[in-house]
Structure 1
Amino acid sequence: MTLTPVLTEHWDDPQSWTIDTYRRHSGYLAVRTALRTEPDQVIQTIKDAGLRGRGGAGFPTGLKWGFIPQGPGKDGVRTPHYLVVNADESEPGTCKDIPLMLASPHTLIEGVIIASYAIRADTAFIYLRGEVVPVLRRLQAAVAQAYDAGLLGRDILGSGFDLELIVHAGAGAYICGEETALLDSLEGRRGQPRLRPPFPAVAGLYACPTVVNNVESIASVAPIIRNGIDWFRSMGSEKSPGFTLYSLSGHVTRPGQYEAPLGVTLRELLGYAGGVRAGHRVKFWTPGGSSTPLFTDEHLDVPLDYEGVAGAGSMLGTKALQIFDETTCVVRAVLRWTEFYAHESCGKCTPCREGTYWLVQLLKRVEAGRGTESDLAKLLDISDSINGKSFCALGDGAASPILSSLKYFREEYLDHLRLGRCPFDPAKSTAWAQRHPADHAGGQR
């Protein structure tokens, strides 16, 4: 299987982020095509292409657009519609949307125009993670270029379609990657998940019909409109068609973004990335970021599409492939991830707020070699109390690496207990932990 540079086609061009460079690569031709087409037909085209959301769950994009109610509201007045682009890329290991917006912001902007036209929205927002100031400035500059070119604002390209595009910088909360928490944050409230129903398609931003899509999902729209359904479906698999960005990081020779058809395997991607660093082998890896169940070297040939990864017991997620070799302590890696989720929990629901705290305490104790085998049972018990029972998917994400690591690496957990230390770091013995109680405390807040 070969790589398919579509979104990344001109990332290496000088000043790839400018509107002139984008237009030299057929940029904004798809907008002209879309604006000459009925909005419902644009939605149908995306449905027929089979584009699935690139933000994690893989929900069909065209179907999501089709949920937006059309026609006048109850009082005979049409309710405003909104498009919100989720650019709050926060998942540990995920690094596809930020490079895309930095290298080719107009790819996203063209997709925003087409998607907004299709769902009949006259206002769109890009909700960006606020810490990435260079990306914020680049997006703002690209939006200004699009306004100057008559591609945003009133009567776009003489079509009669109006669109205002606003770039909004969030305050850096992981929970705002959840679409309803993002909407609350966008409205100026504390970012916490909403109770559903109603779903955003009915009552989203400002209680109006809203579509929330990932950056890569929206950026993929223009190539589909420009090149056609058959072209898009010629890549990937029947149920997961098209191209996508895989982010390889960790113990690989050449980490980075690899754009390939859905269904490629990690073994194939490692071939492009120069393999695992010299003299080492794959021990475990994440198929979709730290919130997805771990895979091992036994899963190198699992097709990396939504069905293939799910069939092997994990989730494709954001396609953040974090690769760890045999020098890595799986217990320590899982502890670091769990500390992240405990820190980022919004505290709205008890299973996540309390459960993630106690998972950290138990993992610290086990990692230092101070635990007992009953602690492993307690880790499973608490994870089960969180998984599927928290208000949003953050709880599931916190439980997944613990459940999967105990499934594949239980002996490594037991080695910590038998040796009284981490087997990958002889310095961290029980005696060391006793001299550093602040780092390995357990049981009390």
Structure 2
Amino acid sequence: MMTLATEIDQNGTSPEKLLAPVLSAFWDQPESWTLDTYRRHEGYEGLRKALTMSPDDLIAYVKDSGLRGRGGAGFPTGMKWQFIPQGDGKPHYLVVNADESEPGTCKDIPLLFANPHSLIEGIVIACYAIRSSHAFIYLRGEVVPVLRRLHEAVREAYEAGYLGTNILGSGLDLELTVHAGAGAYICGEETALLDSLEGRRGQPRLRPPFPAVAGLYACPTVVNNVESIASVPAILNKGKDWFKSMGSEKSPGFTLYSLSGHVAGPGQYEAPLGITLRQLLDMSGGMRPGHRLKFWTPGGSSTPMFTDEHLDVPLDYEGVGAAGSMLGTKALQCFDETTCVVRAVTRWTEFYAHESCGKCTPCREGTYWLVQLLRDIEAGKGQMSDLDKLNDIADNINGKSFCALGDGAASPIFSSLKYFREEYEQHITGKGCPFDPAKSTLWADDKNAHQGVNA
């Protein structure tokens, strides 16, 4: 494993030393997904240490480590566990959210494909802490190869005594169920996920009550992201001080950054929180040859976009928040100067309109009308008044919809108008997209890409 950076040195430290491979330390090894490979890399040692502690002490330990949820909001993981009421006589459940669907986000699926036992070990530790005897993994159903690999890892864990009855002689009993969803983005929202898991249509619930009080089957439930739970074994095995030696004071530890788009080396980069996009691009070979960065998202399409002015923003929760966006799922989508901002935002908004569950009016109606306006502007049929109308509709969705999907749909509108209003105006005054179709691309680099995405 590479040397772990205590802090990000922007004055000469070689880029490789900024990486912190923990979850991805042996992804490139033969059969990295097997139990044998995992145990060769100190697999399930964190569980053994956790079982020597009391559940309350274990929760306090994870809380003291500073681990924050890796699914978007960054809520402290130990604090979420602490919310579960004890002595209530009800079953407690752990639900792992593996319904990764955010455009640009691709960290949990590769993690499950290459190292599923890190999640399983983390699940056993978390269930011991919250006194749960049944856990669920809600996986995005389209990723069948990952589903098969996860089923095999669960089978190995049962066979080795890490799941089932009297785990490692501790008296802990735990059943683990892998559930494949049916491909709905809204089921990434934790309460919609719970409804789907119960066999109902996936739609957000009114809160309170929160899942910690009345979640799955109306019982106390913890819903955590894959990466959040998979990070727990290393914290137990290496120690909370080791974990806090990485990242920043309020955002400690290592995490996976998904780098995609018009970059020379897309992929997963595991580094301490607080690294910058400039450093990640230095490591990955920069933007594709002959091109420059135009705009990018720090946490997927539902987070306000940044421009090349934000290359040195620390990619932790506080740094990105102070710069006007959200770290989210750390999905760094990078677009070069050939990309039409209006078309990119239109594609994202079409996605949100399609994936809206329709439960609340602001999101159901607002995303529809945003798409109509954006399509007209992109085709050169818009008017200058449409720009204020876009902003007004987005404002009527933001903070007023039933769940965060509406906020996510509004974010690209606000931020693109803030940084690229002139480009919107060029579409209106020039009666169409000002980009040369022969050169402009969005998702691909072939000669037909622009024609395809701007049809």
**TM-score tier after normalising by the smaller chain length:** over 0.9
Query: Letter of the aligned partner of 2:234 in structure 1?
Result: P
Counterpart AA for 2:92:
H
Deviations 1:128-151 (A, max 9, x none): 000000000000000000000011
- Offset, 1:426: 5.8
Q: Secondary structure at the match of 2:176?
A: strand
Residue 418 of structure 1 deviates from its aligned partner by: 1.2
Ranges in structure 2 where 5+ consecutive residues have no aligned partner: 1-7, 9-17, 439-453
Deviations 1:34-56 (A, max 9, x none): 11110111101111000000000
Corresponding residue SS for 1:359: helix
Could you say which residue in structure 1 is the equivalent of 2:371? 360
- 1:104 paired to 2:104: no
Q: Tell me which amino acid in the other structure corresponds to 2:321.
A: A
SS of corresponding position for 1:84: strand
Q: Deviation per CA, 1:290-313, whole angstroms, max 9, x where unpaired?
A: 000000000000000000000000
Between the aligned partners of 1:157 and 1:222, the Cα distance in structure 2 is 16
Distance 1:69 1:384 in 2: 37
1:338 counterpart SS class: helix
Distance, in Å, in 2 between the alignment partners of 1:327 and 1:273 is 20
Tell me the equivalent position of 1:13. Answer: 29
Percentage of identical aligned residues:
79
Report matched runs for 1:185-224 at 5 Å. Answer: 185-224=196-235
Relative to the length of structure 2, the TM-score reads 0.92
What secondary structure is seen at the aligned counterpart in 2 of 1:323? strand
In 2, Cα distance between the equivalents of 1:134 and 1:90? Answer: 16
After TM superposition, the score normalised by the length of structure 1 is 0.95
Q: How does 1:189-338 map to 2 (within 5 A)?
A: 189-338=200-349
Deviation readout 1:56-95 (Å, 9 max, x if unpaired) = 0000000000000001x3xxxx110000000000000000
1:34 partner letter: A
Separation in 2, partners of 1:263, 1:416:
37
In the alignment, which residue of structure 2 is the partner of 1:435?
none
Alignment partner of 1:345 is 2:356: yes
Between the two proteins, the alignment pairs up a number of residues equal to 426
Q: Give the distance between the partners of 1:283 and 1:336, measured in 2 at CA.
A: 17
* Deviation (angstroms), 1:425: 4.0
- Tell me how far apart the structure 1 counterparts of residues 48 and 239 of structure 2 sit (CA, whole Å): 14
Distance in 1 between the 2:436 and 2:193 partners? 40
Indicate which of 74, 89, 101 corresponds to 1:58.
Answer: 74
Counterparts of 1:84-123 in structure 2, within 5 Å, are: 84-123=95-134
Aligned counterparts of 2:186 and 2:363: Cα–Cα separation in 1: 12
**For 2:268 and 2:358, how far apart are their aligned partners in 1?**
34
How far, CA to CA, are the matches of 1:417 and 1:426 in structure 2?
17
- Change over 3 Å in CA distance of 1:309–1:228 after alignment to 2: same
- The alignment yields a C-alpha RMSD, in angstroms, of 1.3
1:34 aligns with 2:57: no
One-letter amino acid of the counterpart of residue 317, structure 1: G
SS of residue paired to 2:421:
helix
Instruction: Tell me the distance in 2 between the aligned counterparts of 1:239 and 1:30.
Output: 24
CA–CA distance in structure 2, aligned partners of residues 425 and 142 of structure 1: 50
Q: Which amino acid aligns with 2:359?
A: K
- Provide the C-alpha distance between the structure 2 equivalents of 1:207 and 1:311, rounded to a whole number of angstroms: 37
Which residue does the alignment assign to 1:393? 404
Aligned partner of residue 138 in structure 2, secondary structure: strand
Q: CA–CA distance in 2 between the matches of 1:133 and 1:21?
A: 22
Other structure's SS at 1:417 match: helix
* Consecutive aligned runs of 4 or more in structure 1 exceeding 2 Å deviation: none
- 1:431 aligned residue: none
CA distance in 2, matches of 1:109, 1:42: 17
